[in-house]
C-alpha cells in the first residue's frame, strides 16, 4: 500500500472532512453574522455516494481516521447515514466529529448507535452568559446535558474545545471552572489559540492572547505535561492524578507546531487542502463520481502531497484561502 507521506517525512493517517458550510451558530471569531450563502460558488456539498468513494480511496492510502466537521456537520439530514457509510463500507477505522453540540441532549443516543468513535464539542465557556455572548445562542445547558447522556451511555472519547479569548474566557476564574468540571468528568478539555483568518482581523487583534496564561495556571496547579505518542495530534496534554479528565493546549502560533502536522483537509465541495492556511486547494470531486476511479483518485492525492509546505507561515499574517473556518472545518 502506498502511504500518504510528504517530502518532510510527515505521514497523514488523519483527514478532516467538511460535509457542509452551513452553521446555525454565530461565533464571533468564525461567522459573527451567521452563515451566508456564497453566491460565487454554487457547487453542492459532497453527496453520500461521493463521500463513500472518497473514504474508500483514502483508506487505501493508509488513512485510518476521518473527522467530520463543517460548518455544523450534524445539520445535514443524512448525517447519521454518512457516519454509518464511512464506518461500515470504507475501511476507515475511526470516524469522529467536531460539533457545536446543538441539540446534543436529543441526539446523544442516535450518535452512539451510529457507531461514532469520538466527539469533539466546542464550548467556549461554562458561564451561560459568556457562552451566549460568544456563540449567539443560549444553549449551554442542552450541550452539557447531552454530554451527561453520552457518559451514561458509556461513550468514552469526549473532548471539549474552547477558543481562548482575551478578557472573555481567559482568567483564573474561567480556568478554575473547567478544573472543577474535569475533576469529576472523564473528558479532555483543550484551549485553542484564536487564529487569524481572512475575515476576522479586527476580532483577532482585539481578542488574541497567547495560551501561556493557561500554561502558567496549569503549572501553578501541579499539572504535569504528558509525553506525546508518535501519532499524537496538535494538542499538548497535561495530566493530574486527582482529576478524571485531562487538559490540553492547541497553540498554532507556537514554534514547531507544523512539525507534528498529520492531517489534510477536504472541503464540503471536494477541494483537497494541504494546510488549513495554505494557498493550494485542488478539486478532487471529478474522481469520486464512479466506483472505478479509485486508482486515479489515489494517484492525484499522492501527487498533490508533494506541494505541502513545511509551515503555515501564520505568524507572518498569511491566512491563505481561509476566510473563516466554517469552510475548512477548523
Ligand atoms: N461547528 C463545529 C464546531 O464549532 O465545533 C465544527 C466546525 S468549527 C469551524 C471547528 C472548530 O474550529 C471549533 O472548535 C471552533 O471553535 C474552531 N474555530 C473556528 N474559528 C476559529 C478561529 N478563528 N481560531 C481558532 N479556532 C477556531
Ligand atoms: Fe459554527 Fe463552528 Fe463556526 Fe461556531 S465555530 S460559527 S459553531 S462553524
Ligand 1 atom nearest residue 121's Cα:
5
- Residue 4 included in any domain: no
Provide, rounded to the nearest whole percent, the portion of the chain with pLDDT above 90: 71
Cβ-count burial 185-198 (b if 16+ within 10 Å, e if not): bebbbbbbbbbbbe
- Residue 329 included in any domain: no
CB 90 near ligand 1, within 6 Å: no
Angle between helices 294-304 and 48-60 (to 10 degrees): 70
Indicate the pTM of the whole model: 0.92
Ligand 2 atom nearest residue 70's Cα:
8
- Residue 330 included in any domain: no
> Is residue 314's pLDDT more than 70?
no
Outline where DSSP puts E strands in the chain: 14-18, 65-69, 94-99, 118-122, 158-164, 188-193, 224-225, 236-239, 246-250, 263-266, 271-273, 281-283
Containing domain of residue 169, as a range? 14-316
- Alpha carbon 172 to chain centroid, angstroms: 26
Q: Give the tens place of pLDDT for each residue, 104-136.
A: 999 999 999 999 999 999 999 999 999 999 999
- Residue 200 included in any domain: yes
Q: Give the tens place of pLDDT for each residue, 127-170.
A: 999 999 999 999 999 999 999 999 999 999 999 999 999 999 99
Rounded CA separation 79/99 (Å): 12
Rounded CA separation 66/99 (Å): 14
Ligand 1 atom nearest residue 18's Cα:
7
- Looking at all shown ligands, the one closest to residue 18's CA atom is 1
CB 143 near ligand 1, within 6 Å: no
CB 20 near ligand 1, within 6 Å: no
* The pLDDT value given to residue 2: 58
- Looking at all shown ligands, the one closest to residue 33's CA atom is 2
Grid coordinates belonging to 106: 436529543
Rounded CA separation 293/152 (Å): 43
For residue 79, what are the β-bridge partners? Answer: none
* The pLDDT value given to residue 205: 96
* The pLDDT value given to residue 107: 94
Q: Give the tens place of pLDDT for each residue, 5-41.
A: 777 777 778 899 999 999 999 999 999 999 998 888 8
Backbone angles phi, psi at 311, to 5 degrees: -140, 165
CB 100 near ligand 1, within 6 Å: yes
* The pLDDT value given to residue 66: 95
- Of 18, 19, 45, 326, the residue with max ligand 2 atoms within 8 A of its CB, to mutate for a pocket test, comes to 326
Residue 198: give its domain's CATH number: 3.20.20.70
CB 98 near ligand 1, within 6 Å: yes
- Residue 327 included in any domain: no
Q: What is the pLDDT confidence band of residue 321, given thresholds at 50, 70 and 90?
A: low
End-to-end CA distance of the chain: 29
- Residue 234 included in any domain: yes
- Residue 326 included in any domain: no
* The pLDDT value given to residue 266: 93
CA distances from 164 to 203, 238, 255 (A): 12, 17, 18
* The pLDDT value given to residue 284: 93
- Residue 287 included in any domain: yes
Ligand 2: residues whose CB is within 6 Å? 23, 25, 27, 30-31, 70-72, 100, 122, 326
Q: What is the pLDDT confidence band of residue 329, given thresholds at 50, 70 and 90?
A: low
Query: Which residues have a Cβ under 8 Å from the Cβ of 54 and sit 6 or more positions away?
Result: 17, 46, 266, 270, 284, 288, 297
On average, the pLDDT of the chain sits at: 89
Residue with cell 473532548: 159
Order of strands, edge to edge, in the sheet holding 263-266? Answer: 224-225, 236-239, 246-250, 188-193, 158-164, 118-122, 94-99, 65-69, 14-18, 263-266, 271-273, 281-283
CB atoms within 10 A of CB 231: 12
> What is the rounded average pLDDT of the residues 39-58?
93
Sequence length of the chain is 330
- Alpha carbon 238 to chain centroid, angstroms: 20
Which residue has the CA at smallest separation from atom 18 of ligand 1?
Answer: 330
How many structural domains are present in the chain?
1
Rounded CA separation 46/268 (Å): 6
CB 195 near ligand 1, within 6 Å: yes
Largest CA distance in the chain: 58
Per DSSP, the three-state class of 251 is coil
CB 83 near ligand 1, within 6 Å: no
Which residue has the CA at smallest separation from atom 2 of ligand 1?
Answer: 99
Q: Ligand 1 mean position to 325 CA, how many Å?
A: 6
Amino acid at each position: 500500500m502506498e502511504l500518504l507521506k510528504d517530502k518532510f517525512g510527515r505521514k497523514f493517517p488523519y483527514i478532516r472532512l467538511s460535509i457542509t458550510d452551513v452553521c446555525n451558530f454565530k461565533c464571533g471569531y468564525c461567522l459573527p453574522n451567521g452563515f451566508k450563502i456564497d453566491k460565487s460558488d454554487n457547487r453542492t456539498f459532497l453527496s453520500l455516494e461521493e463521500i463513500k468513494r472518497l473514504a474508500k480511496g483514502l483508506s487505501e492510502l493508509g488513512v485510518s481516521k476521518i473527522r467530520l466537521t463543517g460548518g455544523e456537520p450534524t445539520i445535514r439530514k443524512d448525517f447519521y447515514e454518512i457516519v454509518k457509510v464511512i464506518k461500515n463500507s470504507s475501511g476507515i477505522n475511526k470516524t469522529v466529529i467536531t460539533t457545536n453540540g446543538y441539540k446534543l441532549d436529543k441526539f446523544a443516543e442516535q450518535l452512539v448507535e451510529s457507531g461514532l468513535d469520538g466527539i469533539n464539542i466546542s464550548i467556549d465557556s461554562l458561564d451561560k452568559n459568556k457562552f451566549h455572548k460568544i456563540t449567539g445562542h443560549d444553549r449551554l445547558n442542552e450541550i452539557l446535558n447531552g454530554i451527561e447522556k453520552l457518559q451514561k451511555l458509556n461513550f468514552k472519547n469526549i473532548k471539549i474545545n474552547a477558543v481562548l479569548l482575551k478578557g472573555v474566557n481567559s482568567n483564573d476564574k474561567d480556568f478554575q471552572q473547567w478544573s472543577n468540571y474535569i475533576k469529576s468528568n472523564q473528558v479532555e478539555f483543550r484551549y485553542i489559540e484564536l487564529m487569524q483568518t481572512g475575515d476576522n482581523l479586527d476580532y483577532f487583534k482585539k481578542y488574541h492572547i497567547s495560551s501561556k496564561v493557561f500554561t502558567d495556571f496549569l503549572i501553578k496547579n501541579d499539572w504535569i505535561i504528558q509525553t506525546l505518542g508518535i501519532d499524537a495530534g496538535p494538542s499538548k496534554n497535561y495530566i493530574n492524578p486527582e482529576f478524571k479528565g485531562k487538559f490540553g493546549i492547541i497553540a498554532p502560533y507556537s514554534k514547531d507546531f507544523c512539525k507534528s502536522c498529520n492531517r489534510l483537509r477536504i472541503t464540503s465541495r471536494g477541494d483537497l487542502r494541504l494546510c488549513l492556511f495554505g494557498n493550494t486547494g485542488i478539486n478532487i470531486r471529478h474522481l469520486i463520481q464512479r466506483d472505478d476511479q479509485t486508482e486515479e483518485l489515489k494517484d492525484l492525492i499522492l501527487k498533490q502531497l508533494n506541494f505541502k509546505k513545511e509551515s503555515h507561515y501564520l505568524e507572518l499574517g498569511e491566512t491563505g484561502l481561509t476566510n473563516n473556518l466554517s469552510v475548512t472545518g477548523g
